Structure 1
Amino acid sequence: MSLTNLDTTNPATPPTDPNTTTLTLPTDHIDDLQTIPYTPPTIYTRPLAILGAGNLGRRIACIFSAAGHTVHLHDPSQGALHSAQQYITENLPHYTTFPLISRPAGQIHPFSSADITPAVSDAWLVIECVPEHLPLKIDIMGELDAKTPRDCILVSNSSAFRTSFMVEKVCWERRKLMCNMCFGASPWIRAVELGVNEGVTEGEVVRVLTWVLDDCGMMPVQTSRVGRDGEGGLVRSQCLNTVN
């Protein structure tokens, strides 16, 4: 499923912020909390990984590939990967009209092993698109926390659960690097909802993801709540779904 090679000779880079942001580590007393500077991950020299090659996973792969990113698409089902390959081959040319800056499409590499390590070991971003089953997502996030670089941003495409519900097996400092990133079901919808965990998600993470999505030609909208009591999905209104 290898597509055109990624051109990294003159990649676009996200803006830098002179104001240092911090990650907060837990201690017994709030007055003793220590902080460490947050440094955004390098982007164009590392792949991003998508877990799940279903209808949304394959579409998200096209979005990032069209903007020049190398994509690792993981699914334990060979059938799902084969179907995704057909979709990507037929539809990627449309997605190349989205980015603000035209670039050669990045390669999309399929991974079908039961172990996700090869797909995520050097990723700067991982987007989980696994079925909407909370215990499964909790396990996936815990596994990602153990198998990805420490600066890797962990994102869920879930419209039913906040990432704050998935942190049971994730170490404290990594929770700052988690948020929801919900894409519309239709391939032609450009609106993307960034659902942050208010008071937890690192602001610089949101800024970097917003920049990357803008660069991909998408229309990111930030929200701080995910449904009511974790049910019902993100606030994805019909007016957003008509933006294209």
Structure 2
Amino acid sequence: MANSKLLREAVVILGAGTQGRRLAYMWSSTGKPVHLVDQQESQLSQGLDHVHQLRTSSSSISTNWGKITTSKPSSLKEELEKAWLAIECVPENFALKQSVISQLDNLAPDQTILASNSSSYVIGEIIENLSLNNPRRVLSAHCYWPPETPAIEIMGYEQTDPSIIDLLVKKSEEHGFTPYRVRKPSVGYIYNRIWAAIKRETLLTLSEGVASPNEIDAIFRDVLKTPKGPCELMDVVGLDVVLDIEKHYAETRKNLPSEPQKYLQDMIDAGNLGVKNSRGFYKYPRE
């Protein structure tokens, strides 16, 4: 099964938002083609512009770039015929992710690996009530902020073919990722389980008026010697995405405090989404 996948060279990415365009950059770094799919033409053009910026930056990870093509979902079946890997990178909405994975399973050849980039929903949750043609080729493959943070967590579920995980670990390394194998299904993978506790306590601290975002970030950087503090990191992720993830944790784990969700909702209602719209905990220059 693994060898037949290697005959197909392309990677198809559904979603040309912040994460999708960065994944397009990474998966095109060895000269192989990437096809970026999105319903919005503006997302596709902005995605290509962002990939070009990354490729021409001083920290570019390659000089051998694959061609990136774009389309709306109407031509998805044709593009999947060329792909060994298809990644859903749509917003953190459970019903949407279910719909996309179901569509990929119906359209993709049996040899194509189907991966979810969801940061909080594990693949077993997403496909639980779906009737898939080939459930053994689906898994979770969550990235953080490539290429600056090249970690990728690869996690299957009870039916995932182990050879698929082995292959994705190997191919991820070749494309500049640092793969981590999650050995059991885990909501939040490895890092996000730890990060969830940090951001939740950060939001609680803010809601109680104990410290400002700047003070929290400053002491966090001072003690742990990290380049960014938790408020800065949440701005990068997007506060709407952080809220969606926090809601999911609250659904799966009992007795979590409600204040972090309310604090985030108030910020979002005031128009603060983070880096993506130039204002969150901090203000940012517009791209």
Q: Does 1:70 align with 2:33?
A: yes
**TM-score, normalising length: structure 2:** 0.62
User: How far is 1:186 from its partner?
Assistant: 5.2
1:235 and 2:196 are equivalent in the alignment:
no
Structure 1 stretches of at least 4 aligned residues deviating more than 3 Å after TM superposition: 38-42, 93-98
Displacement after TM superposition at 1:41 (Å): 3.2
The structure with the largest helix share of the pair is 2
Distance 1:95 1:200 in 2: 42
Aligned to 1:176: 136
The reply on whether 1:163 has 2:123 as its aligned counterpart is yes
**CA separation in 2, counterparts of 1:110 and 1:141?**
19
1:192, distance to aligned residue in structure 2 (A): 0.7
Distance 1:94 1:221, change over 3 A: farther
CA distance in 2, matches of 1:222, 1:215: 16
Pick 1 or 2: higher relative contact order, CA cutoff 8 A, min separation 6: 1
Please name the residue that 1:33 is paired with. Answer: none
Counterpart of 2:151 (choices 183, 188, 191) is 191
Distance 1:96 1:71 in 2: 21
Match of 1:140, SS? Answer: helix
CA distance in 2, matches of 1:95, 1:205: 34
Q: Flag the structure with larger Rg.
A: 2
Q: Which among 39, 43, 47 is matched to residue 84 of structure 1? A: 47
Aligned to 1:7: none
Match of residue 133 from structure 1:
93
* Residues 107-126 of structure 1: pairs in structure 2 closer than 5 A: 107-114=67-74, 116-126=76-86
Tell me, yes or no, if the aligned pair for 1:154 and 1:179 is still in contact at 8 Å: yes
Residues 12 and 35, structure 2, Cα contact 8 Å, conserved in 1:
yes
Which of 165, 177, 194 pairs up with 1:218? 177
Q: CA deviation at 1:154?
A: 0.3
1:48 pairs with 2:7: no
Q: Is the 8 A contact 1:145 1:171 kept in 2?
A: yes
Q: 1:95 & 1:49 partners in 2: Cα distance?
A: 27
For the Cα contact (< 8 Å) 1:141–1:169, is it kept in 2? no
Residues 145 and 108 of structure 1: CA distance in aligned 2, closer, same or farther (over 3 Å):
same
Distance in 2 (CA, whole Å) between partners of 1:234 and 1:95 is 32
The alignment's TM-score, normalised by the length of structure 1, stands at: 0.72
Q: Percent identity at matched positions?
A: 24
Q: 1:182 to 1:104 in 2, by over 3 A?
A: same
Helix, strand or coil for the counterpart of 1:42?
helix
Structure 1 residue 91, shift from structure 2 partner: 0.7
